[in-house]
Structure formats: C-alpha cells, structure tokens
Amino acid sequence: MFFLPSKIFGFVALPSNAIAIVCGLGLCLLLLKRRRAGASLLMVGIVSLSVFGYSPAGNVLLLTLSDRFPAWQYDGRDPDGIIILGGAIDAGISAARGSVETNGSAERLIAALELARRFPKARIVYSGGTGNLVADLVPEAPIAGRLMETLGISPERIILESGSRTTDENARFTRKLVSPKPGERWLLVTSAYHMPRSIGVFRKAGFDVEAYPVDWRTRGWVDAAVPFDRLSAGLASSDTAVHEWVGLVAYWLTGRSDALLPSPRSD
C-alpha cells in the first residue's frame, strides 16, 4: 500500500516535475482567459526554475545529507558481511542489450567489488529489485550477481535479494534473508546522500549496520556557494536532494525509520 502512493507523491514533489506542472497550469489559465492567475503561476514557475536550476540550493540540500555520515575507517576488525543497496544498474537497458549498464550511482558496485576482494571472508549481499512504477523491469540483483561472478567473486559468497522495491523493503528483506547474528559486523554500501534514510530503516528493522557511504555528489561545503552553469545539472541535483528529503519525512511519519534525520551513534 505504501509503494504506489510514495511513487506518485515522489514524482510530483520533484522540483523539475513540480515546475512543469505549475507552468502547465499557468498556460491553461491563460488559455481560459484567467490572465492574472495564469501569469502569476508562470512567474512562480520561472523563478523556481532559476532557483533550482542555477543556484546551489540542490547542493546545500545534498550536503546536509551526504555529510551526515563520514567515510568508513577500518579499525582492524574485518566485516562479516557487506550489503550493497540497488540503484547502480539500469536493469532495463542491461536486459535489452545483454550487458551490465550502470548509472550515476555506479560507485556502489565499484565499492562492493573492492570490499569483496579486500575482505575475502565476508558475505556479499546485493539488495535490489525493481522500483519502477511504469514498466515491469527485471530486478537489479541477478544482473549484479552475474557481474560479481564474472569479476572473480565466488558465487558461494554472493547473496541476492531481488524482491525489494523500496529502501524499507531493502532493510526488512535483507535482514530476513541473512539472519544476522549478535556480534556480527555488517557494512552498508549506498550513496552518501541516501545513507541517513538507509541507516534509519535498517535500525528500525533491527539490523545493526555500519555506514559505508560512496557516490559523493559534491566536493564538500565549498560547493554550497557555487552556482550551476547548466540548468539541467542544477535541476538534477535538486531533484535528487528533494526526493531524498521527501523520503526521510515520509519514512519517519509512517514509522519506517527510527529518526527523522538519523545520525552516527556515539557509542
């Protein structure tokens, strides 16, 4: 029940989509001779397009999330397992072309492969079904599994979770699949901006994991003062950030996360 409303609301909430809707409504009002209301909506759309497309607003929103959890530091104790959240593979193109096609979050896979070789006794879990609302695509996990085997990771170490459609399902389905034991050490690999929500749902699911953020989209807070030189780049950054913030609020309000903005534990 949560999946469909979350996808629909998430689509409307994205700045690029919201701006298009506002401008479309403005044009409709102009055609209906509602000139003042139509012009006002068009002005709101144009101003919003400039703010989210050229200002560093998207980076500010992303940095608040991506800098929440620092880069993981090895302390001499090897992990028992490594969980990679889906989102790095374009499953539709991969299936159509018969190859592994990655997207802007490919660092999740790269980190997984590096960690698998660095810690040869750790189990490797790839959790990723298909969260596409429009097309019935193949899940990511089997494609990632084939890639890892091709690059030399033993199939006995690989665990694939291909039923999840949301981050909440990633956590719950993975916990049920691997049944973590007390005292085990599990790393969670996902994009830095996605880490707060991911940690929140894994904690809520009763699965204690350590953050291994990758796919940093900014250089740091220096980018909070740097405007974008391309409208498309600024909108993409804003869309990513707003999608994540909306997800944080929705997960917290529906009891799927243990906090509104999860943070590293002090202990």
pLDDT at 248: 96
* 55 and 234 Cβ atoms separated by less than 8 Å: yes
Mapping DSSP to helix (H, G, I), strand (E, B) and coil, where does residue 158 land? strand
Over 60: is that where the pLDDT of 169 sits? yes
Over 60: is that where the pLDDT of 148 sits? yes
pLDDT at 156: 96
pLDDT at 1: 60
pTM above 0.75, yes or no: yes
Over 60: is that where the pLDDT of 216 sits? yes
Q: What is the mean pLDDT of the chain?
A: 94
pLDDT at 266: 60
pLDDT at 249: 95
* Per-residue model confidence as pLDDT tens digits over 179-197: 999 999 999 999 999 999 9
Segment 61-70 shows an average pLDDT of 97
Q: Which residue has the tokens 């044009």?
A: 27
Over 80: is that where the pLDDT of 108 sits? yes
Over 60: is that where the pLDDT of 267 sits? no
* Per-residue model confidence as pLDDT tens digits over 13-65: 999 999 999 999 999 999 999 999 999 999 999 999 999 999 999 999 999 99
Full set of structural domains in the chain with CATH: 3-65+227-253 (no CATH), 73-214 (3.40.50.620)
Segment 111-121 shows an average pLDDT of 96
* Per-residue model confidence as pLDDT tens digits over 228-259: 999 999 999 999 999 999 999 999 999 999 99
pLDDT at 168: 96
Task: Return phi, psi of residue 191, to 5°.
Answer: -60, 145
pLDDT at 238: 98
What is the phi-psi region of residue 220: left when phi exceeds 0, alpha when psi lies from -120 to 50, beta otherwise? left
Over 70: is that where the pLDDT of 136 sits? no
pLDDT at 5: 73
Q: Using alpha carbons only, give the angle 30, 32, 37 rounded to the nearest 5 degrees.
A: 45
- Of 5-19, 33-47, 149-163, the range with the lowest mean pLDDT is 5-19
Q: How many C-beta atoms lie closer than 10 Å to residue 94's C-beta? A: 21
Q: 156-180 burial string, b = 16+ CB within 10 Å, else e? A: ebbbbbbebbbbbbbbbbbbeebeb
Q: Which residue has the tokens 């699911």?
A: 205
